[in-house]
Amino acid sequence: MASSIPTCDICITNTISKSASGWCLECEEAICSDCEKQHRRMKLTKNHKIIPVEDKKMSISNLDSEQECNDHSRKLDFFCLKHSQPCCVTCIFEKHKRCQELKPLPEVEKGITSFDSSFANLEDRVEDIIESITSLLKEKQENKTRLEVQKNIIITKVQNIRRSINSHFNKVQQSLTEELEKEEKIQNERIDICIEKLSGILQKVDKLSSKLEQAKQHKSEFQAFLAAFEWDKTIEKEEKDWISLQTDKISDRVDIS
């Protein structure tokens, strides 16, 4: 069911029934568009605030909540000038017994001459807070973005440093590997020479050992005695070669360090 449209209260006094289009907050009356024009031209009512009639319910609801005590849910009827706050009857007994400057709210409202400037001051303060917080929020968002950029820059630098270090160590490793392989080759060649010489001496001494064994078994003492002179020269030569190898340290153990 559609809500009924209120009738203009001013027109009703003239026995005219006309749908209202607005609501005067000061007069607390429904008003039609024609009467609204007159309302705005009259000296006493030209500054009255008129809202669309459909907003009346919300406005009255807000007004009722603003005119009700938050502590006791009773109507605010008085204003304490000492504490600069409206109060209900219960507030007076609980908090304002000794206050001498209590006045009915209607009297205080009549004495207000700087409402517009006070309200404008409140609006300015609210606007300042909104602007400051909005600016700070923007700054914080920019700060987050800046932090992310700084993080990425540092990560990139670290990655570049790591690549540079890896490249350097790769070169060092390659150079060291080449030097080790070269040194290994040189030492292996020396060892091979030593092995060859030692094998030659061993082969000759083994043959001499066999001859000595044969002489003991198959030759007479005189024949063995004559052969011993020849073999003595042979073994002497091999001993010199062996001593020479030791002197040259060719038989020493070789390490890479």
Q: Determine the CATH number of domain 1-66.
A: 3.30.160
CA distance 178 to 208: 45
pLDDT the model gives residue 2: 43
Longest Cα–Cα distance of the chain, Å, equals: 176
> Is residue 57 within 8 Å of residue 71, measured between CB atoms?
no
Give the start-to-end residue ranges of the domains of the chain: 1-66, 73-112, 129-247
If one counts every other C-beta atom within 10 angstroms of the C-beta of residue 10, the result is 21
CA angle, 4 then 45 then 7, to 5°: 15
pLDDT digits (tens, 9 = 90+) for 48-94: 888 888 877 655 544 444 577 888 777 888 888 888 888 888 888 88
Q: Which two tokens stand for residue 115?
A: 């409402």
Hey, which residues does 7 pair with through a beta bridge? 19
Mean pLDDT score of the chain, rounded to an integer? 82
Supply the pTM of this predicted model. Answer: 0.43
Helix 221-247 and helix 115-218, axial crossing angle in degrees, nearest 10: 160
Categorize the per-residue pLDDT at 249 as very low, low, confident or very high, splitting at 50, 70 and 90.
Answer: low
pLDDT digits (tens, 9 = 90+) for 114-143: 556 667 778 888 889 999 999 999 999 999
Alpha carbon of 205 to those of 73, 118, 252: distances in Å? 127, 126, 21
